[in-house]
């Protein structure tokens, strides 16, 4: 297994996708609330159409970004957006830092709810345990983070497969009946774009995995594979959550409602443990991107970002996020993500598909 994880094929085509999925999932669909907010709220069929929009946007933007990174060797977000936006690169960093704190607050709130509901541990202690684990992984650096995210992704997929198989076998007829009604409400395309835009902020957390990509075809294939690796569990999860429609739309953590309806306590506990680990992955990915950006800046000044500095930065960020986690999941997801999505549209999506493509073409010609 270790040989496969260290192979060129895995590092070129799968590692970026697994890391992207690891960072996206907790802030993107781990609790199920995000799927309800951006997709199911537009009707069962409207939600599926919205997910198709998201997948196409992710694939296109990731493919172009991966190729841009390959050509200009920009493996941290400061260098990437300095190359892309020039002196206005800081606008992206503002959006990224805002998203970082929103995501950490979301995963903190989710972690607190998980341990409180499952193990009876106080909410605040659950939040603190999760965020301290984030700080510890950030302290250990890239290799530890890569290994944790790779292995945990396989564990995650295993639990998801069982959850989805049991859910579809039990609720298949009900899901088919709900879909057959063909309910679609307006706004599904717009929310498909918005969901794609705010989650693209996660790309900063995976830039360090792209150094093995050597050709344009590898970049394009890897970009679209990353989109598929990330959306497929969300789509299958969405299908199971559908079984509780329309009542489930008002739940703060729809995933737990769907799991409890299966009547399998062991699966519920397994999912909650896996989700807790995934929340750690997401928080770690976001903070690691900041550490890599600072490390690159210090290298230019012949200085080094030490392990203690990495851990200290992570700890400071998670302490601020503990305070923000008190705002609650529904408000954080609906208001925070919805607003920041347009910041990433302006600072990443539009520039990479215009300025970025033009620079790639010029670089190839020269």
The number of C-alpha atoms within 13 Å of 90 and in the hemisphere containing its C-beta is 1
Fill in the DSSP letter of residue 252: S
2 domain-assigned: no
For residue 16, pLDDT over 90 is answered with yes
In a domain, 3, yes or no: no
Residues 217-250 have pLDDT tens digits of 999 999 999 999 999 888 988 988 888 888 888 8
- The segment with the largest mean pLDDT, out of 29-43, 52-66, 249-263, 298-312, is 52-66
Count of domains in the chain? 1
**Residues 85-120 pLDDT 10s:** 999 999 998 888 888 777 777 777 777 777 777 777
Q: What is the mean pLDDT of the chain?
A: 84
How confident is residue 336, by pLDDT bands cut at 50, 70 and 90? low
Best CA proximity match to 356, nearest among 124, 158, 66, 112: 66
pLDDT band at residue 322 under the 50/70/90 scheme? low
d(CA 331, CA 188): 20
pLDDT tens digits, one per residue of 177-210: 999 888 899 899 999 999 999 889 888 888 989 9
To 5 degrees, how large is the angle CA 149–CA 152–CA 156?
130
CA 366 to chain centre: 36
Decide if 119 is inside a domain: yes
Q: Which of 208, 191, 179 minimizes the C-alpha distance to 295?
A: 208
Domain that holds residue 350: 11-365
Mean pLDDT within 60-80: 94
**Exposed / middle / buried, residue 193 (Cβ in 10 Å: 0-12, 13-18, 19+):** buried
Q: What is the CATH number of the domain that holds 52?
A: 1.20.1740.10
pLDDT at 151: 78
Assess if residue 280 is contained within a domain: yes
Domain for residue 156, yes or no?
yes
For the ranges 4-8, 27-31, 246-250, 269-273, which has the lowest average pLDDT? 27-31
**pLDDT on residue 282:** 75
Highest mean pLDDT among 16-25, 63-72, 298-307: 63-72
pLDDT tens, position by position, 269-302: 888 788 777 777 777 877 888 888 888 888 888 8
Residue predicted with more confidence, 283 or 173: 173
Is 272 part of any domain?
yes
Longest dimension (CA), the chain: 63
In a domain, 305, yes or no: yes
122-160 pLDDT per residue, tens: 777 777 777 778 778 887 777 777 777 777 777 877 887
Peptide bond into 37 cis (omega under 30): no
Asked, for residue 270, whether it belongs to a domain, the answer is yes
Length of the chain: 366
Checking if the pLDDT of 327 tops 70, the result is no
Percent of the chain residues past pLDDT 90, beyond the cut: 33
Q: What are the φ and ψ backbone dihedral angles of 17, each rounded to 5 degrees?
A: -65, -45
């Amino acid at each position: 297994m270790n040989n496969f994880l260290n192979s060129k094929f895995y590092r070129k085509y799968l590692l970026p996708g697994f890391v992207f999925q690891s960072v996206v999932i907790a802030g993107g669909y781990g609790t199920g609330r995000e799927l309800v907010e951006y997709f199911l709220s537009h009707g069962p069929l409207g939600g599926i159409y919205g997910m198709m929009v998201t997948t196409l946007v992710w694939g296109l933007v990731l493919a172009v970004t991966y190729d841009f990174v390959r050509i200009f060797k920009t493996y941290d977000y400061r260098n990437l957006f300095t190359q892309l936006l020039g002196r206005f690169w800081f606008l992206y960093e503002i959006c990224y830092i805002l998203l970082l704190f929103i995501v950490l607050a979301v995963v903190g709130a989710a972690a607190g709810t998980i341990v409180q509901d499952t193990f009876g541990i106080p909410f605040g202690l659950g939040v603190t345990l999760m965020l301290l684990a984030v700080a510890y992984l950030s302290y250990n650096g890239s290799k530890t983070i890569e290994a944790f995210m790779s292995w945990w992704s396989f564990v995650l997929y295993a639990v998801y497969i069982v959850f989805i198989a049991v859910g579809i076998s039990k609720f298949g007829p009900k899901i088919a009946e709900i879909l057959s009604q063909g309910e679609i409400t307006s706004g599904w395309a717009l929310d498909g774009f918005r969901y794609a835009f705010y989650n693209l902020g996660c790309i900063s957390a995976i830039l360090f995995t792209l150094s093995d990509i050597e050709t344009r075809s590898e970049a394009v294939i890897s970009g679209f594979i990353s989109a598929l690796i990330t959306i497929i569990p969300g789509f299958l999860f969405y299908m199971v959550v559908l079984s509780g429609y329309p009542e489930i739309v008002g739940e703060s953590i729809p995933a737990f409602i769907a799991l409890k309806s299966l009547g399998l306590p062991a699966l519920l506990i397994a999912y909650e443990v896996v989700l807790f680990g995934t929340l750690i992955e997401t928080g770690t990915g976001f903070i690691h991107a900041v550490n890599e950006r600072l490390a690159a800046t210090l290298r230019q000044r012949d200085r080094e970002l030490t392990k203690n500095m990495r851990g200290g930065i992570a700890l400071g960020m998670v302490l601020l996020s503990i305070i923000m986690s008190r705002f609650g999941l529904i408000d954080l997801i609906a208001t925070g993500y919805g607003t920041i999505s347009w910041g990433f549209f302006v600072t990443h999506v539009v520039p990479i598909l215009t300025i970025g493509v033009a620079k790639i073409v010029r670089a190839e010609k020269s």
